[in-house]
Amino acid sequence: MSADFPWWFRRRTSPFFRIWEEFDEAFREMEEFMRREFEELSERIPKDLIRERRLSDGSIVREWGPFVYGYSMTIGPDGRPVIREFGNVRPSTRALRPGGPMRPSLDIKEEREPLVDVMSTDGEIKVIAELPGVEKEDIKLRATEEMLTISVDTPQRKYYKEVELPVSVDPKEARSTYKNGVLEVVLKKVKEKGKGETIPID
């Protein structure tokens, strides 16, 4: 009797049909999730990271990026690991709606954070930053006693990084060099003020 019915009807009466329904539902939800993510991501990407070019057949393709994310890990002077991130993509969390549950997301910036390393010697702080693809004249440096700011703003490359210094420095005595895409900034530590003099009492 059942052989007289088409295969799709027999599948509906099968105890395994509910499993197939659940698979179909899961795939539909996944497709909808990816569609929403794609739309939201395209709205958050800085316009300078979206380009269009025409192919030989006349069609237009849209290119995004570059998107860069990485990290370096070193051991600090106290023996604890120091992790430094670089790039223009940051993992984060956000809510789909105000007051809603938080979920993983990505923050994308136009400026790329360069890979930076900070080293401390007896009298100096040395900051090394990788800035490939730029000229020396494109780099702007600004220093205070506690912070070094590195910025590059060209049509091809945009870098920005605020480096918190581990100790106070004298920005007036800073010096820097740039060679083969590597910037090196040397800052002199501020000498600690004396603890004062003992005053005898007559």
Residue 187 to residues 27, 75, 126, 129, 139, Cα–Cα distance (Å)? 57, 21, 6, 14, 17
Residue 159 to residues 54, 83, 119, 181, Cα–Cα distance (Å)? 28, 19, 21, 12
**Mean predicted confidence (pLDDT) in 156-185:** 92
**Mean predicted confidence (pLDDT) in 86-94:** 70
Tell me what the pLDDT averaged over the chain comes to.
77
More confident call, 161 vs 25? 161
Could you give the CA distance from residue 72 to residue 191 in angstroms, rounded to a whole number?
A: 30
pLDDT in tens, 107-117: 767 788 898 98
Is the confidence at residue 8, as pLDDT, over 80?
no
- Structural domain spans, the chain: 2-44, 66-189
Residue 139 to residues 5, 57, 94, 124, 142, Cα–Cα distance (Å)? 75, 40, 33, 22, 10
Is the confidence at residue 179, as pLDDT, over 80?
yes
% of the chain exceeding 90 in pLDDT: 29
Could you give the CA distance from residue 39 to residue 51 in angstroms, rounded to a whole number?
A: 17
Is the confidence at residue 122, as pLDDT, over 70?
yes
The reported pLDDT for the residue numbered 148 is 95
**Mean predicted confidence (pLDDT) in 18-32:** 72
**Mean predicted confidence (pLDDT) in 91-115:** 71
The whole-model pTM stands at 0.58
CATH number of 66-189: 2.60.40.790
Could you give the CA distance from residue 185 to residue 163 in angstroms, rounded to a whole number?
A: 11
The reported pLDDT for the residue numbered 19 is 66
**Mean predicted confidence (pLDDT) in 69-82:** 73
